[in-house]
Structure 1
């Protein structure tokens, strides 16, 4: 789960600039109670550290393609997020992925010839700027307690992303992923609505694993993460029903969305 793809900015980010004690000495961070940028995002990158908490609220799937990543599925159709209203405010209890909570901050490489990561932010965000309210990013020319906390959160996120990358590599090496398909039958419809374009763990292969392999994924912590993913898939129908109740469900032709990757 690379934070900064070489071919462009990660999802949500319109721009990235490094935080500077000179250029941003007067900048502050203020709280926002909505996330309008999230209203049309139906699949959000997720780290393995979040599986146990997230599986109570959202289906956890894996993106299609050669380099799959875990995704929190907040809507079954492209452009639909059932957990937010049109203004970007939460409709009720939900799990907000760390990828969202990190925005508008992230650690990024400033030079391709160096592995050093610098704290950067999206200058188009309403949460950071020269305001009368909010908390200062610098005090006496040094990072404030807020900025230090942001840096720690971003560092923790990068470490979780590395663990997630290893988890995905192990899933692929064990050949446990398969193309996913969910069929939801709706009363009054002759044909079910079928959703594809994602990957999931193959339960049959999981059951048939050799004893030494099963012992390994139990000891290294993979097994509970796999079951958190599998249990979460039961929420697919709830997300579908939420779409329908919000007037955002499919009308006639079954949809086959392609969940967006990181």
Structure 2
């Protein structure tokens, strides 16, 4: 799930990406924050399959539309709305934060499209890294500090999880288990809210999967992940309710 650092197609959250090195960034530090401003107004965040068991307790897990779908944790029912994060970036309730968001402003990326290796890069516009007064050093002379090594390891683990996620999605597609999703929520005023533009597992097709395939999925852990996704969809009404309680609902559109 690494992305080449090329404008304008930068990954979600990132406004710029530069590779870290001890020559140019010898005096750089990184600081922590309790204000995840990069999450403000982001209603869905990429998720790895390893996170399904934790994420499904808090968020509906859906899949993007198109030929190369990826899992998403849904944090708001509409674009530009995150019901778990206040305008200043404060989490307004204890929830699981996906690894994709926790690694920011760091990530592993290819320095050139044709490159095989990945390099630790950072978003210098984040305000969380640079020649700042307080924070943890990124380098000790020419060597990376423990802080940098730990972030590199975190990003490497994320890439491994990303590969597992790609294999999971390939299996879903191989067995034609994904279907176009549609959610209809009736608030009782005669104008239901309709949500489309995503994919979900087709439960009818899942029931028809051969027994030997199901056994394999049960043994390799894929089957519980599928059910984590399906169970998580029960949270859609809770998410909708939170958004309505916060007064962030768009005008409903009646069916044509």
**TM-score interval, normalised by the smaller of the two chains:** over 0.9
Query: What's the CA shift for 1:100?
Result: 0.3
Displacement of 1:250: 2.8
Question: How many residues are aligned here?
Answer: 254
Which residue of the partner structure matches residue 168 of structure 2? 167
Q: Which structure ranks higher in relative contact order (CA pairs < 8 Å, sequence separation ≥ 6)?
A: 1
Shift of 1:37: 2.2
2: CA distance between counterparts of 1:15 and 1:221? 37
8 Å CA contact 1:105–1:122 kept in 2: the answer is yes
Q: Residue in 2 aligned with 1:148?
A: 149
Shift of the alpha carbon at 1:93? 1.1
Where 1:120 maps in the other structure, the secondary structure is strand
Q: Which residue of 2 aligns with 1:135?
A: 136
1:177 maps to 178
The residue aligned with 1:239 is 239
Report the Cα offset of residue 2 of structure 1.
4.3
Task: Specify every segment of 5 or more residues in structure 1 that has no aligned partner in the other structure, as ranges.
Answer: 256-262
Specify whether residues 169 and 2 from structure 1 end up closer, same or farther in structure 2 by C-alpha distance, changes over 3 A only: farther
Q: Which residue is 1:190 aligned to?
A: 190
Deviation track 1:7-62 (CA, whole Å, cap 9, x = no partner) reads 72111111111101011000001111112221111010000010000000000000
Aligned to 1:155, the other structure's residue is in SS state helix
1:211 to partner: Cα distance: 1.0
Distance 1:254 1:156 in 2: 45
CA distance in 2, matches of 1:39, 1:206: 36
Number of the residue aligned with 2:119 = 118
Q: Deviations over 1:131-189 (max 9, x none)?
A: 221110011321000000000000000000000000000000010000111111113x1
Give the secondary structure class of the aligned counterpart of 2:164: helix
TM value normalised by structure 2: 0.95
- Distance across 1 between alignment mates of 2:5 and 2:64: 16
Q: Secondary structure at the match of 1:41?
A: coil
* Counterpart in the other structure of 1:229: 229
Contact 1:59 1:235 (C-alpha < 8 Å) held by counterparts = yes
Between the aligned partners of 2:117 and 2:53, the Cα distance in structure 1 is 31
Greater Cα shift, 127-136 or 145-154: 127-136
- What corresponds to 2:199 in structure 1? 199
SS in 2 for 1:178: strand
Inter-partner Cα distance in structure 2 for 1:2 and 1:171: 21
Contact 1:36 1:87 in 2 (8 A): yes
Contact 2:103 2:154 in 1 (8 A): yes
Change (3 A) 1:2 1:65: farther
Rounded Cα–Cα distance in structure 1 between residues aligned with 2:253 and 2:185? 13
Aligned to 1:73: 74
Across the aligned residues of Structure 1 and Structure 2, the Cα RMSD in angstroms comes to: 1.5
Q: Distance in 2 between matches of 1:37 and 1:116?
A: 27
**TM alignment of 1:251-262, pairs within 5 A:** 251-253=251-253
- Report runs of 4+ in structure 1 exceeding 6 Å deviation: none
Using the TM superposition, give the Cα deviation of residue 208 of structure 1 relative to its aligned residue in structure 2, in angstroms: 1.6
Aligned twin of 1:35: 36
Contact 1:244 1:250 in 2 (8 A): no
